[in-house]
Amino acid sequence: MTKKPRRSQAWYGKSDKDGFIHRSWMKNQGFPDHAFDGRPVIGICNTWSELTPCNSGLRELAEGVKRGVWEAGGFPVEFPVMSLGETQMKPTAMLFRNLLAMDVEESIRAYGIDGVVLLGGCDKTTPGQLMGAASVDLPSIVVSSGPMLNGKWQGSDIGSGTDVWKFSEAVRAGDMTLRDFMAAESGMSRSKGVCMTMGTASTMASIVEAMGLCLPTNAALPAVDARRMALAHLTGKRIVEMVDEDLKPSDILTRAAFENAILANAAVGGSTNAVVHLLALAGRVGVDLTLKDFEIGGDIPLLVNCMPSGRYLMEDFCYAGGMPVVLKELGDLLRSSRTVLGGDIAAYADGAECWNRDVIRPFGDPLKPAAGLRVLRGNLAPDGAIVKPSAATEALLEHEAEAYVFESIEDLKANIDRDDLPVTPDTILVLKGCGPKGYPGMPEVGNMPIPARLVKQGVRDMVRVSDARMSGTAYGTVILHVAPEANAGGPLALVQTGDRIRISAKTGTLDLLVSDEELATRRAAWAPDPPRYDRGYARLYVDTVLQADRGADLDFLVGKDTRPVTRESH
């Protein structure tokens, strides 16, 4: 069998002026002649940044990858791409996920590399990198940052995000002092790594493992565990082999892999954010995934006892056996699908053993019987909305009540704690203007705070409806991703305080109980908010972003382009 010529040879294999230029400038870093002898050139796509604290360990991991690439006879070259620090970026890191994806795609395409190791971790970095890499379709493999060590404070474990929401409500209720609140900050984040709850970062890492896009155990090994460095080394070795085998994302990212991701997301009690990221990734590789497909996870039991749906943290999940145990528990439910190892996903589970059955429950004795996300539709969400029952109050999942509407995030912030806010524990809080176009960027504000007056009465959950997302570390009866969003003219734009809304997770419905005639009158008087940005990336984003049910990708980025780049710059 004749091997496909290496892509990198079009840069480094020529004996003309172009070859001279490509090699000579690289040699200024001290690479010897034999680095250009036709061996696979492996790009290490790094989202390291001090402004993305969750990814601040990736420089060390890149060194581990390089060891493995050299050992396997490859030539590693590390390159930076935009980094998205979830807790640091305004207006929201999600606004920039597609920009990172473009950066990754164009960097991979423009340089003379044969395969890529994607180093990411913080929430949007993993999907952004995968979307970009999938659109170029060179052999690619993921190494994640890994979670922080368990948070520790006043003798207890505390979890990133989840306990922030709890502490913040406790301060508002007068149950926690500001001094204690500030002190908990330092105990929560004790090492490099991503949030150590089953937030979006660990959800995406778990999904990446369930899709076979990384080496087994990648999701849960703590960021500072020496075994993660060894995993990076082994990943470096494996990507060289993958280039020789021409094993590409399109061989791995089949419909079966997406279905496995949905099943795994349910079993780990994963983040609602996985929905938009999987829909966007599917769009890149031409898999016709829709919101309806997420219903296959509906009856999957919750196996992983991690916050926010359970009580443990990612370090405990790792010591209990991690994702290989979850995949083994899913057993025959898993769809046959190829992985970066070249074999079937079932092979990941080979030899997996569970060391703590309270952290990873057996399929037959789960934490909750049905943990998958519920998709809701109705005249309030014609293109769908989602809710995460495992993080919700069961009694509120079948609910009808009057709405109290916040027209924007500013309206909410200014009024939520007013003593005279006319709400009861039954009221359905509605927030508009937080979808992809409206905010813009679809921020994680869907888990609106409970009004202070009700918090003081002991209320900890209410039904909340919006076109926003919610942090993977958050919880509550929160209906998210309403599509179309208010700013795209969805029916959400027409809701008024006092309207009745009915939600039923059982029947999968979300309805605004207002007559069609009245809605038509309101629509005639409606106009979208004026655009907040008139230039730059934000304008491009607002002009071209798809709605949540299409993954909020930019319309012109859907699909891929695998054509060779033939033109030279010199």
What distance in Å separates the CA atoms of residue 269 and residue 368, rounded to the nearest whole number? 10
* Residue 271 CA: distances (Å) to CA of 205, 265, 309, 345: 11, 7, 10, 22
Q: State yes or no: residue 315 binds ligand FES (CB under 6 A).
A: no
Of the candidate spans 193-201, 216-224, 232-240, 271-279, the one that interacts with ligand FES by CB under 6 A turns out to be 193-201
Whichever of 54 and 480 has its CB closer to ligand FES, that residue is: 54
CB of 145 to ligand FES, least distance (A): 8
CB of 446 to ligand FES, least distance (A): 16
What distance in Å separates the CA atoms of residue 412 and residue 54, rounded to the nearest whole number? 29
Of the candidate spans 65-73, 195-203, 223-231, 326-334, the one that interacts with ligand FES by CB under 6 A turns out to be 195-203
Q: State yes or no: residue 201 binds ligand FES (CB under 6 A).
A: yes
Whichever of 201 and 213 has its CB closer to ligand FES, that residue is: 201
CB of 273 to ligand FES, least distance (A): 11
CB of 362 to ligand FES, least distance (A): 29
* Residue 323 CA: distances (Å) to CA of 142, 169, 296, 480, 531: 15, 32, 19, 27, 43
Q: State yes or no: residue 308 binds ligand FES (CB under 6 A).
A: no
Site for ligand FES in 111-150 (CB under 6 A): 122-123
Whichever of 49 and 337 has its CB closer to ligand FES, that residue is: 49
CA 515, distance to chain mean position in Å, is: 38
CB of 478 to ligand FES, least distance (A): 18
CA geometry: angle 14, 19, 24, nearest 5 deg: 140
Site for ligand FES in 79-118 (CB under 6 A): 86-87
Q: 196, 315 in Cβ contact below 8 A?
A: yes
Which letter does DSSP use for residue 512 in this model?
Answer: E
Which letter does DSSP use for residue 468 in this model?
Answer: S
CB of 194 to ligand FES, least distance (A): 4
Which letter does DSSP use for residue 155 in this model?
Answer: T
Per CB under 6 A, the list member of 57, 74, 199, 441 interacting with ligand FES is 199
What distance in Å separates the CA atoms of residue 97 and residue 277, rounded to the nearest whole number? 9
Whichever of 189 and 337 has its CB closer to ligand FES, that residue is: 189
What distance in Å separates the CA atoms of residue 68 and residue 76, rounded to the nearest whole number? 9
Q: State yes or no: residue 190 binds ligand FES (CB under 6 A).
A: no
Question: Judging by DSSP bridges, how do beta strands 464-466 and 478-479 pair with one another?
Answer: parallel
Whichever of 68 and 161 has its CB closer to ligand FES, that residue is: 161
Per CB under 6 A, the list member of 99, 118, 194, 279 interacting with ligand FES is 194
CB of 460 to ligand FES, least distance (A): 23
Concatenating the DSSP letter of every residue in 227-287 gives HHHHHHHHHHHHHHHHHHHT--HHHH-SHHHHHHHHHHHHHHT--THHHHHHHHHHHHHT-
Three-state secondary-structure class, residue 293 = helix
> Which of 250, 294, 119, 246 minimizes the C-alpha distance to 559?
250
Of the candidate spans 192-200, 408-416, 422-430, 438-446, the one that interacts with ligand FES by CB under 6 A turns out to be 192-200
Q: State yes or no: residue 54 binds ligand FES (CB under 6 A).
A: yes
What distance in Å separates the CA atoms of residue 381 and residue 43, rounded to the nearest whole number? 42
Q: Which residues of 452-466 are buried (b: 16+ CB within 10 A; e: fewer)?
A: bbbbeeebebbbbbb
Q: State yes or no: residue 329 binds ligand FES (CB under 6 A).
A: no
Site for ligand FES in 269-298 (CB under 6 A): none
Per CB under 6 A, the list member of 44, 116, 195, 455 interacting with ligand FES is 195
Using CB under 6 A as the binding criterion, the count of chain residues that bind ligand FES stands at 9
* Interface residue list for ligand FES (CB under 6 A): 54, 86-87, 122-123, 194-195, 199, 201
